[in-house]
Structure 1
Amino acid sequence: MSKHLHSATAPFLVELGTEELPPTALSKLSAAFAAELQTGLAQARLAVEAKQVECFASPRRLAVRIRALPTLQPEQQIEKLGPAVAAAFDKEGQPSKAALGFARSNGVEFEQLQRAETDKGERLCFRSTEAGQPAADLMPGIVARALAALPIPKRMRWGASRVEFVRPVHWLVMLLGEDIVDGEVLGLRAGRSSYGHRFHAPQAIQIQSAISYEQQLGDAHVVASFDARREMIVQQVQACAESLGGSAVIEKDLLDEVTALVEKPVALAGAFDAAFLRVPHEALVYSMSEHQKYFHLRDSSGALMPNFVAVSNIESKDASKVIIGNERVIRPRLADAAFFFDTDCKHSLATLRERLRPIVFQQKLGTVFEKTERIAALAKSIAATIGADASQAQQAGQLCKADLASDMVLEFDKMQGIAGGYYARHEGLHNNVALAIEQHYFPRHAGDQVPTSGEACAVAMADRLDTLTGIFGIGQLPSGSKDPFALRRASIGLLQIILQNNLAVDLAELALAAAKQHAVIDDARATAQQVGDYVFDRFAAHYQEQGLATEVFQAVRCVAGYNALDFDARVQAVASFTARDESQSLAAANKRVGNILEKAGTVDANSFDLALLAEPAEQALCTALDAAATQCQPLFEAGDYREGLLALTSLREPVDAFFDNVMVNADDPKLRDNRLALLARLRALFLSVADISVLAVAKA
């Protein structure tokens, strides 16, 4: 019997030894394994706090340690409900067949049953205490279910086994304290045999206890902790860079991937021929990071250095040989980039653009060449609207996709746009044109920069609007997780470009202009409306990420058009308004006013007659309303919605007094209609910014 059986808690370890795991998925798999284990433990009444759960992951292993696992489930009180008490006895007062059957199904006599009050009346019940099971008996099943729940898109089989996992599994360690947990997972019997570094410590090692795991693997040249290994890499790479007088650019995705490729990192600095620095630096960096997993270096001015840092999985007796090997491997990669650049520079962008004629963008929407024609025309119009150079935007629109036919982009797809910018400058085109070509894909992802010039903004917006209206126009809307044309990203990009560059444009009008360019779209206005609504729906998620209540967005959505900059100003104003004490009362009052006016039908605010004000409270409201309107209207016209709404908070007391003291539905129809007209004026003033009655839902 395990010496831990009578202990309250004991450390638990599970390690799955595999063939090399996918490096880009390792961190995600490790976190998911720990999370699924924690979920399984909670379901098994062995819940542990997150701080007790430790993840370990390396190229050949996934492991989780729980520092204090309850060794025994707590007892569980079981209550099973039976028939209603009214149906539990026959006319003679004897137990009915239903009652006896219920007792028999629970293995007890009728007299052992009890009664329980429920929302459906009193019922017979059977109460019992279920003893807890040892954790050691439960863990194999919990581990198996956790592994089955991992986010693995495609599993594989190996050998003659029917077992499936992301990679073949070769060993399984499961320990509770120092004891092996007897069980089978993925076709393997649990033990204590693990393996260290494939080359430096290939022999099996016997893990003595869950606590000694890290130390024993460390002795076998394996840094088991993903986080610790990542920090080692950062420190070593930075030290190598500093020794060369530069600084390393350590991007998270590359760092995580390199961490997942090594078990004991050794950073080594190398160099390449400085002559390659004439090639677009992005292509050099791409070759180093994507192909070889090297970190690139920059000097104090930010310029790319002819050096790199590679991270090896082997501690070589002669590190210089490893460095020479890495330098030899990167040279042909950089030579390829130089060749592509030189070859492309022999052709003008206009020549490259001609190669787009046979390339289909979308079957119903024509070729990429035709798309550039539409982008150019729309970019010219947008540029004129936002005060940019229309002719430069038009030229950039025509050439923005030309680099898709270049050798550079065919080899390095992430160079699209960037390569075009280099070729435009090499050709001697205006820098605004080159910059617009380079930046028209910006922002490419969350947190990326937006275009920095008006011409670049015009081309970037035109490109996205052309895609959105075209795809919507042929009815291929995104659904669920399917978004092959990245319309969600295009929509978010549009909003970011507009907001961060303070562009006062109407998206519905721009979408209409874009839709009219597609010959396949019969109803351009309807398509533009669809696109405008779709783009603005993305606004909701944007504000949720900022922590704004959904009702704030909805309040503005009720009244605002498709000017994203104006829309954002209204949202920020309403969000500020909701923080004030007066907002709850005014929102409720607006909701009440809205209901009254809706019930009354058509109400003409212009029919209001000052002479018909009979009650002091309605006179006071009229005076306050006139004063507020005089103060607010100039603010609203200037787009200063925050100060305008702040001024409207002065209406709280006169509005409350009006409803406390004035009967709107007076017997005299003239008084009734006049009071409705007064309320219509009040409602219209608030609707100048948003329908704040929507906020009453949140305040309820």
Structure 2
Amino acid sequence: MRTENLLIELGTEELPPKALKSLGEAFATQFEAALTSADLAFTSVNWFAAPRRLAVYVSQLAEGQSDKTVEKRGPAVSAAFDADGNPTKAAQGWARGNGINVEDAERLVTDKGEWLLHKAHVPGQPVAALLEGMLNQAVSKLPIPKPMRWGNNTTQFIRPVHTLAVIYGSEVVNITSLGLTSGRTLQGHRFHGEARFELDHADNYAKALEAQYVIADFQARKDKVREQLESAAATLSLTPDFDEALLEEIASLVEWPVVMQASFDKGFLDVPKEALIYTMKDDQKYVPLLDADGNLSNQFLFVSNIESRDPIQVVSGNEKVIRPRLADAEFFFNSDKKHSLESRLESLDSVLFQKQLGTLKEKSSRIASLSAFIATHIDADATLAQRAGLLAKTDLMTNMVMEFPDVQGVMGKYYALNGGEDTLVAAALYEQYLPRFAGDALPSNSVSAAVALADKLDTLVGIFGIGQLPKGDKDPFALRRAAIGVLRIITELSLPLDLSELVEKAGEVYGDKLTNSEYKTQVVDFVLGRFVALLQDQNVAIDVIQAVSARRPTRPADYLARVNAVAKFKTLDEAEALAAANKRVANILAKQKVDESVADVDSRLLQEEAEIALHSALMEAKEKVAGAIEAQDYPVILSTLATLRNTIDSFFDNVMVMAEDEAIKLNRLALLSLLRQLFLTTADISLLAKS
């Protein structure tokens, strides 16, 4: 069957830059799904996305569906004919629906009976007859939260669509979509290219557009922006400050990227660089430049969508645009410095944290108390932690943060230093928000760690305490992120903190504001649940996690230590047999309703050599691991218990646990309970799966 490459392009007005990449990816995904559903053969589906176009390119698309035979089973033969052998109404209706007579039907014989069968030949449809439905299906499933109408049309899309090109090889496929009839017309660059031009062949799409000053391939355009930024910065011996999100947004704003260099007055560098960088990146999509020490330069880069014949004018225009924004930042900074952070505490009383939980001033007071409590448990300065907690939210009331919300915390640090606060207090005002996302840095000192934990725990306990638990993907207070932050700080900084104690203290600080009596258990379980997800993301085996979770350790650092020990234990040759033995023991004790915490063994009732040996080995192991249990040295505990394998196997091979003598039976159950308790000091080994 003939194959050709297919090009479909929607020529639009400027698409939302932050949505462009996701639209392009979704267009390809949905169209590929439509092709697969239609049983059309193809090699691959690629996507193009630029500010004024979305396109899919299908390689080696078959010109039509293959013919196929469809088997349509009818009624059972016993129900298809009456006693005289005449077709029943059921058989006649089925045959009529398939366009045949009953006597033309074949028979399908299986071990469950015999049925009427019709094998229908279904000819494949040409791709031209299918494309319209597939395109409309793909377009209808694009992630467009707010579609719009234009002109007198009733059709809707994220932006007005002006051209629709559908080209199979060199042929135009005539379809209608989004109020347009397909053709081969494309839009060139708005300023450098032709307003409209015709594409001769699907294979020439990217090349033809490049001749019109449009780089249609999103990744290629993004790479070109990156290369130009890095090259321009290198000539100045500086480093461009951008992340992937900014790079993608810039690439979504231009079709023909041209990187240019501009500058601003050096006097603005007296303003904290974070505020300047924020306004350059977020407001203007400019790229700041840093020196080798991380200091901000007054030179910056921007990406134009044109190759100007008079670039000086373009540079001058962008310098004029950035100046008032930097001047605003300078004014806010200078005016904010006239007031101490402490003087802003009262103004926090005018801002609600949450209706039932009070104002930001009340939250600050709670954070202060909880920070001091945590500090005493991690060898931090409780006085400094309390001070930092009290001032934690005061920078939210400054002009700078009100204008540039993303610099909260950062400006708190600068204003604290300006007001003569301790450097650890100043650092904590910034680091209270760490970690903000996966892989983000952690607080750099114990005072900051105390405040960061207090802030997150206050939110968790408060929101759970009024019964507003996160449901599905709804998490308006970012409780999942807060829980992961708590876990990362405690585990990665090896802090000796217990979640139950922290939640208890946070609840006490709230006083009588909390109405959900179950919040303590719920918060701890919620955070531990995030731990499970966090460990799975780190490729820890689920059975290892389940074995530890069964013991519900509430000290995150201890939880992680158990996980690491059990993961190592699972690699031992003895692990599988010991896991099986533990499972067998657990089942026996459960069936006999034995309290696993009771393990008083009467050595006088031990009769068999194997049970005497097991008791002796258990007592010896118990003595060996006593110190390790106290020190929570789980590798030593598990390696010691691993030596019991042969003794345990011998016990089950040679001893009848359910002895006729009730006293002996109960004594043997107590022996098994002792065995179970020793293993449970680390995890429920019975939950480990076979390797």
TM-score, normalised with respect to structure 2: 0.97
2:387 aligned partner: 395
Establish whether residue 33 from structure 1 lines up as the match of residue 33 from structure 2: no
**Residue pair 1:512, 1:524 contacting (<8 A) in 2 also:** no
1:543 maps to a residue whose letter is L
Is 2:168 the partner of 1:160? no
Q: For 2:22 and 2:288, how far apart are their aligned partners in 1?
A: 25
Q: Which residue of 1 aligns with 2:452?
A: 460
User: Retained in 1: the 8 A contact 2:77–2:115?
Assistant: yes
Identity percentage of aligned residues: 48
- Write out aligned runs for 1:283-302 (5 A): 283-302=275-294
1:119-162 deviations in Å (ceiling 9; x for gaps): 86432222222111112221221111111111121211112211
Q: Deviations over 1:523-576 (max 9, x none)?
A: 787322211111111112112212223332222122133111111111222222
Alpha-carbon spacing, 1:273–1:155, altered in 2? closer, same or farther (3 Å): same
Q: Which moved more, 1:62-71 or 1:405-414?
A: 62-71
Partner SS, residue 211 of structure 1 = helix
Matches within 5 A, 1:474-493: 474-493=466-485
How far is the alpha carbon of 1:522 from its aligned partner? Answer: 5.5
Deviation at 1:393, TM superposition (A): 0.4
Q: Is residue 543 of structure 2 the alignment partner of residue 551 of structure 1?
A: yes
Q: Which of the numbers 9, 12, 15 marks the counterpart of 2:9?
A: 15
Contact 1:12–1:66 (8 Å) recurs in 2: yes
CA contact (8 A) 1:353 1:403 kept: no
Question: Hey, what's the Cα distance between the residues in 2 that align with 1:348 and 1:455?
Answer: 21
Distance, in Å, in 1 between the alignment partners of 2:327 and 2:112 is 80
Is 1:146 aligned to 2:138, yes or no?
A: yes
In the TM superposition, residue 583 of structure 1 has moved relative to its aligned partner by 2.5
> Could you say which residue in structure 2 is the equivalent of 1:608?
601
CA contact (8 A) 2:462 2:514 kept: no
Which position in structure 1 is the counterpart of 2:128?
136
Question: What one-letter code is carried by the residue in structure 2 that aligns with 1:249?
Answer: D
Structure 2 gaps of 5+ residues are: none
Distance 2:193 2:91 in 1: 68
Q: Structure 1's 355 and 651: CA in aligned 2 closer, same or farther, altered over 3 A?
A: same
Indicate how the Cα distance of structure 1 residues 19 and 680 shifts in structure 2: closer, same or farther if over 3 A, else same: same
Partner of 1:104: 96
Equivalent in the alignment of 1:629:
622
1:620 aligns with 2:613: yes
Give the distance between the partners of 2:447 and 2:418, measured in 1 at CA: 19
Code of the aligned partner of 2:616: T
- Call closer, same or farther: CA 1:630–1:117 in 2, change over 3 Å: farther
**Contact map agreement 1:421 1:438 (CA 8 A) in 2:** yes
**Structure 1 match to 2:87:** 95
Measure the CA separation in 2 of the matches of 1:56 and 1:685. 61
Task: Kindly indicate whether residue 574 of structure 2 is the aligned counterpart of residue 582 of structure 1.
Answer: yes
Q: Secondary structure at the match of 2:495?
A: coil
Alpha-carbon contact 1:605-1:678 (below 8 Å) kept = no
Give the C-alpha shift of residue 364 in structure 1.
0.9
Is the alpha carbon distance of 1:152 and 1:512 closer, same or farther for their aligned partners in structure 2, counting shifts above 3 Å? Answer: same
Tell whether the 8 Å contact from 1:18 to 1:61 is kept in structure 2 after alignment: yes
Distance change (3 Å), C-alpha of 1:123 and 1:652:
farther
Deviation at 1:20, TM superposition (A): 0.7
Tell me what 2:195 maps to: 203
Distance 1:523 1:569, change over 3 A: farther
Asked if 1 retains the 8 angstrom alpha-carbon contact of 2:357 and 2:513, the reply is no
Cα deviation, 1:265-285, whole Å, max 9, x if unaligned, reads: 000011111111111111010
**Partners of 1:135 and 1:659 in 2: how far apart?**
69
Q: Deviations over 1:225-268 (max 9, x none)?
A: 01111111111111111111211122111000000000010000
In the alignment, is residue 281 of structure 1 matched against residue 273 of structure 2?
Answer: yes
Q: Is the 8 A contact 1:38 1:47 kept in 2?
A: no
Does residue 67 of structure 1 match 2:54? no
Which secondary structure does the structure 2 equivalent of 1:448 belong to?
Answer: coil
Contact residue 512 and residue 525 of structure 1 kept, 8 A: no
Aligned to 1:685: 678
- Do 1:515 and 1:524's aligned partners in 2 also have CA atoms closer than 8 Å? no
Match in the other structure for 1:177: 169
1:642 deviation in Å? 2.8
Is the 1:54–1:65 Cα contact (8 Å) retained in structure 2? Answer: yes
Root-mean-square deviation (CA, aligned residues, Å) is 1.7
- Using the TM superposition, name which of 540-549 and 303-312 deviates more: 540-549
Aligned to 1:672: 665
Q: Does 369-378 or 80-89 show the bigger shift? A: 80-89
Once the two structures are superposed, residues 312-350 of structure 1 have per-residue CA deviations (whole angstroms, 9 ceiling, x without a partner) of 001001212211111111111111111110010000001
Contact 2:356 2:513 in 1 (8 A): no
- C-alpha separation between the residues in 1 aligned to 2:379 and 2:42? 61
Match in the other structure for 2:529? 537
- Would you say 1:218 and 2:210 are equivalent positions? yes
Q: Secondary structure at the match of 1:456?
A: helix
Once residues 578 and 172 of structure 2 are traced to their aligned partners in structure 1, the CA distance between those partners, rounded to angstroms, is 67
Maintained 8 Å contact 1:515/1:521: no
Could you tell me how far apart the structure 2 residues matched to 1:578 and 1:134 are? Answer: 57
Match of 1:657 in 2: 650
CA contact (8 A) 2:466 2:514 kept: no
In structure 1, the gaps of 5 or more residues are 1-5
Q: Is the 8 A contact 1:440 1:451 kept in 2?
A: yes
Q: Distance in 2 between matches of 1:404 and 1:688?
A: 47
2:466, 2:515 within 8 Å by CA — same for their partners in 1? no
Task: State the match for 2:690 in structure 1.
Answer: 699
Residue identity matched to 1:670 = A
Q: Name the aligned partner's letter for residue 65 of structure 1.
A: Y
Taking the aligned partners of 1:399 and 1:119, their CA distance within structure 2 comes to 80
Within 5 A, what are the aligned runs for 1:481-520?
A: 481-520=473-512
Normalised by the length of structure 1, the TM-score is 0.96
Shift of 1:597: 0.6
Contact 1:116 1:124 (8 Å CA) reproduced? yes
Greater mean alpha carbon deviation, residues 513-522 or residues 73-82: 513-522
SS class of match (2:617): helix
Report the AA paired with residue 44 of structure 1. Answer: A
Kindly indicate whether residue 323 of structure 2 is the aligned counterpart of residue 331 of structure 1.
yes
Q: Which amino acid aligns with 2:441?
A: Q
- Bigger shift: residues 206-215 or 146-155: 146-155
CA distance in 1, matches of 2:98, 2:11: 45
CA distance in 2, matches of 1:351, 1:197: 55
The answer for the alignment partner of 1:352 in structure 2 is 344
Contact 2:348 2:359 in 1 (8 A): yes
After superposition, the Cα gap between the structure-2 partners of 1:158 and 1:643, relative to the gap in structure 1 and judged at 3 Å, is farther
Cα distance 1:643–1:182, how it changes in 2: closer, same or farther (>3 A)?
farther
Structure 1 residues 422-441: aligned runs within 5 Å: 422-441=414-433
SS at match of 2:208: helix
> Alpha-carbon deviation of 1:605?
4.2
- Aligned amino acid, residue 211 of structure 1: D
The CA distance in 1 between the partners of 2:576 and 2:86, in whole Å, is 62
State the one-letter code of the partner of 2:600.
Answer: S
Cα 1:117–1:335 change in 2 (3 A) is: farther
For residues 582 and 636 of structure 2, what CA distance do their matches in structure 1 show?
19
Tell me which amino acid in the other structure corresponds to 1:527: Y
Q: Are residues 1:262 and 2:254 paired?
A: yes
